[in-house]
Every structure is written in structure tokens, then in C-alpha cells.
A = this chain, B = another copy of it.
Amino acid sequence: MASIRDLAKQLNLSPATVSRALNNNPLVAPEVRRRVLTAANKLQYVPTIGRRETMNIAFAYAGDRSIGSPFDAALMEGLTDRMESGGFDLVILDVKRAVHPRETFSHMFRRKGIRGAVLRTTSEAKGLCEQIAAEGFPCVVVGEHFDNEGISVVRSDSLTSSRDAVNHLIDLKHEKIAIAVNQVDDSDHLDRIAGYRDSMAQRGMAIDDRLIFRIAAKREGGIQLIRRIAAMPDRPTAIFFADPLPAIGAMMEAQKVGWSIPRDLSIVGFDDAELRFMVHPTMTAICQDARELGRVAFEALDLLFSQKGRELQNSAVRRILPTQLECHGSTGPWLA
């Protein structure tokens, strides 16, 4: 509704200055820029081209750009599925790179004609997402969760399925069950640890903190973990991996060391794509439907758009999708 000229009138400025402030032109006083930006946020300014509203949605990386992962690809696929019916276009973005020095994030999005963002983040960049949401820009975070109630989130529920995974291993008579989690903390991964603890406690198993491993969420991490436990006096007989790639690395390395899977070691992994079918033996894994996650993310964003007009505060959306434990060939009974 509010145009640049409306903002200008309200702030006693010229449209030119407002435009410059919004575009991060250095030729504008910092104090004036701040006033313009706060006004733009308060009045829910949306840029238009001519008389048409811009129709871009961003797939934005908040932390390190993990584009290239199957998870992200599937996410985008789901997003575009739903988007094109509404005439939206998807723009790929790295917020840290795209933002100019001393520019607000919402400001950067508006400059690019973006109406809303689907945020991908790593744990260390969570604060960045909170900042964007706090600026009042319509955004949905995928795959993380926040204590902050004001942030819209779409993610999978890994707590329940983590319990299922560990229960599955206990049912198979394993007694020394390890868990391997990404070394950088992340609420979703904390859930997986919580699921592990829950299940162990509920089934009356002792929890040995030395069996909770922090590793790099890459193939390398799994390889190194196998080397570590191979040197242990009484090694675990089953490992639950909270990430896809290290699980695969571990399966390879275990076989290289001469262990047979699942006879000498059972492994439960995590899979967003079809990696579980590409290894030998096929991998028992917790599966999340990343494509569906993308679809739901767009629907959440769309809801946010329609809410934005009516009511401003406390309109956060939270969608939690179930994940499933699929049993394949990498887990078996412990016979020793």
C-alpha cells in the first residue's frame, strides 16, 4: 500500500532520498537511513514495478551455503511445485553475501523485490534468522527450531523417530548403543540426542556419555569414528547416526576394517534422499520427506502473506512433519 512517495511525505524527505536509503546508496546520512528503514518496516512497505507488485520468493542461505546437498535440492523442488501456480518466482540467495555493509536484511530483500524468504540455516547462524524475523520480514525457517515463539518454522520431528531408532536397536538385543551427532550444536540434533536418551532410560539401559560422539557431518566424520571405536576395549555394537553422510562413511570404513554389517556392527542412519538404497547392505535409516517439507514451507509463507494484512504480531506458523524409521539391511540382532 505504502509507496515511496508516501514514506517521503511522512518523513519530510524527497522520494529520491527514500529510494536511495532503501537501496543502500552511500550518499545518504546514516541517521536518515535509519529513519527511513524503521518507517518502511512499520508501514509494511512492499516495492512495486510500475503498478505491479513484485512476485519473488527467496530460497536464502543464512549460514554456510550448503547448496549442493540432496536435501536442499529436494526442498527447492517442493517449493517450486507449489509456487508457480501463484505466479511466484524462486530466487536463490546467500544473505551474508547479498547484504551490503550496514544494510538491514529486510532492506536487502526489499531492494531485490523479494516478498518473502524460506531460510536455510546452520546452527551458528540461528541468530541471523531471528534477526530477519525480528525485522518483521515474512520468512519461514526450514529444519531448525527456536525457543522464540515469533519465528515461523517448518521442520521434521526427529525426536519421536530417534526414539524409534534406538528402540529398534534395543529390540535387537544390542546393549552398547552409541549415537553420533554433528559436532556443531543445533536444536534439531539436540532432539535426536534427547530421543536417544529417552529411549535408553525408558528401557532401563545405562547411558554412557562416552558413547555419545560428536563428529563432523561429512563422510570423513564417519570414517574417523570407526577408527576410534575399533581401538576401544569394549566397543559399541550399534551406532545411530544423526546425519546421512557420516553413516555412509562409517559403513564403508567398517567393511574396510573387516567387519561385516550387520553381524559385527549395526548402523542406523539418516536419509533425506535415496542414499539408503545406494550402499551395501541397504541402510536402515530415519527418512524425512524433504520435498514435502518444501511444499509445506511455501504454504506457510503464503499464509504469512495473507495474515500480514490483517494482523501484525504473533502470526508465526509452526509445522512439524513426521519422519519414519525404515528398516533395511544394516541392522541385525546382536548374537554375541
Contact = CB atoms under 8 A, between A and B. Distances in A.
Contact of A77 (B68, B74, B251): B68
A18 to B, nearest CB: 13
B67 A80 contact: yes
B248 A278 contact: yes
Interface in A263-299: 273-275, 277-280, 282, 291
A76 B67 contact: yes
A49 interface: yes
A76 B89 contact: no
A282 B93 CA distance: 35
A82 interface: no
Interface string A76-88: 1100100010000
Interface size classification for chain A: 35 or more
A308 interface: no
A93 B98 contact: no
Nearest to A49: B49
A219 B274 contact: yes
Contact of A72 (B19, B49, B73): B73
8 pairs of A and B residues whose beta carbons are closest in the complex: A90-B92, A68-B73, A73-B73, A68-B77, A67-B77, A248-B278, A84-B97, A89-B91
Interface of A: 19, 49-50, 56, 59, 65, 67-70, 72-74, 76-77, 80, 84, 89-94, 97-98, 112-113, 219, 248, 251-252, 255, 273-275, 277-280, 282, 291
